[in-house]
Amino acid sequence: MKKLSILLIAGVMAVACSNGKHAEFEKNTEAAKAYFKLHESENAEEMFTYLSEDLTWHMPAYGMGIGGIEEVKAAILWYQAAFDNMVFTADYWLPGVDTETGVPDGSTRVYGTWTSVYAETGQELSLTSYHSFEFKDGKIINGGDWFDLGGMMNSLVPAPVEVIETETME
């Protein structure tokens, strides 16, 4: 009886300590990876099938704040028109957590680097980034992109020629 009690307690503790979301995290991470692969191949229409109509997204551009599905679609189309050879290299994928409880909830997030070529000039880019994805009913419902969009865009513009004024010495 003592052994049975110990086994029962150990089993309850194992279940209690498990977040029950590991399968969702794995499934959602695979979906996010597939979503990025579609971005790399510039398949916007297929990317859009991953998005919930109720999407809320943290946009990376200064002052944009939170966008909805139409803003995200427009951004995807812009990136795909402006950049060639887009490749995302993940450093690591991590489970996300419920913001109120801190308990893993099946969402996923990733740190990594995007490389691409600016189509207009042929300039190569490398951009470190962080992305988060929350899912509902198999669709991306919430998340965001965090990277230095302003710095990236500034790097694409030629530096202004500095005019140096010379003083005449008297």
B/e letters for 87-108, b = 16+ CB within 10 Å, e = fewer, are: ebeeeebebbbeeeeeebbbbb
Q: Which residues pair with 124 in a beta bridge?
A: 117
pLDDT, position 4: 47
25-44 per-position pLDDT tens digit? 999 999 999 999 999 999 99
Burial (Cβ within 10 Å: 0-12, 13-18, ≥19) of residue 115? middle
Instruction: Enter the pTM of the model.
Output: 0.80
Q: How does the average pLDDT of the chain come out, rounded?
A: 87
- Average pLDDT rounded to a whole number, residues 107-117: 97
The fraction of the chain above a pLDDT of 90, given in percent, is 71
Residue 167 has pLDDT above 90, yes or no: no
- Average pLDDT rounded to a whole number, residues 105-116: 97
pLDDT, position 75: 96
Domains, the chain, ranges and CATH?
Answer: 19-156 (3.10.450.50)
- Average pLDDT rounded to a whole number, residues 2-16: 47
Residue 10 has pLDDT above 50, yes or no: no
The fraction of the chain above a pLDDT of 70, given in percent, is 81
Residue 5 has pLDDT above 90, yes or no: no
Mind giving me the DSSP string for 15-65? Answer: HHH--S-HHHHHHHHHHHHHHHHHHHTT-HHHHHTTEEEEEEEE-SSTTT-
Q: How many other C-beta atoms lie within 10 A of the C-beta of residue 32?
A: 23
Alpha-carbon distance 75 to 59, whole Å?
Answer: 9
Name the residue with higher pLDDT: 20 or 87: 87
